[in-house]
Amino acid sequence: MRLTSALLFLGMTFTAHAEVKLTENDILGVWQIDSESTSSDGTHAKKLNSTWNFLKDGTMEGITIDSDVNARSPEMRASITYSVENGKLIKQTMPGRSKFETCTAVEKNDQKMTLECTNVYYFMTKK
């Protein structure tokens, strides 16, 4: 009985973190970044006021608004290139740099998506 329970638990654990294959149509449009976390369950998540707009031409426009009155700039904009390959998002890490990172969707439905990128999970809502 214990072995069956342990195997069932392991199966549920792997299923919970199953990879979702993305297509370009899945990500096109504006996504609100609700929070980011270093853990998949969102523990110690940091709230963000950012949007990512994935355009059909392979560019993603990011906008972050900083509500801190002492911030140097209340708004930061950046445009980077991206592609979807083998069901994963491949995006530049910074504008003008040749370094790219691979992001995997660990959860996706019509309006919500969780992306696992290098050392961070992004919890997103489609606008």
Contact predicate 124/37, CB 8 Å = no
Q: Yes or no: say if 61 and 76 are a contact pair by the CB < 8 Å rule.
A: no
- Tens-place pLDDT, residues 99-122: 999 999 999 998 999 999 999 999
Where in the chain are the domains? 19-126
pLDDT in tens, 13-33: 333 456 899 999 999 999 999
Q: Does domain 19-126 have CATH number 2.40.128.280?
A: yes
The pTM of this model reads: 0.80
Contact between 105 and 123 (Cβ < 8 Å):
no
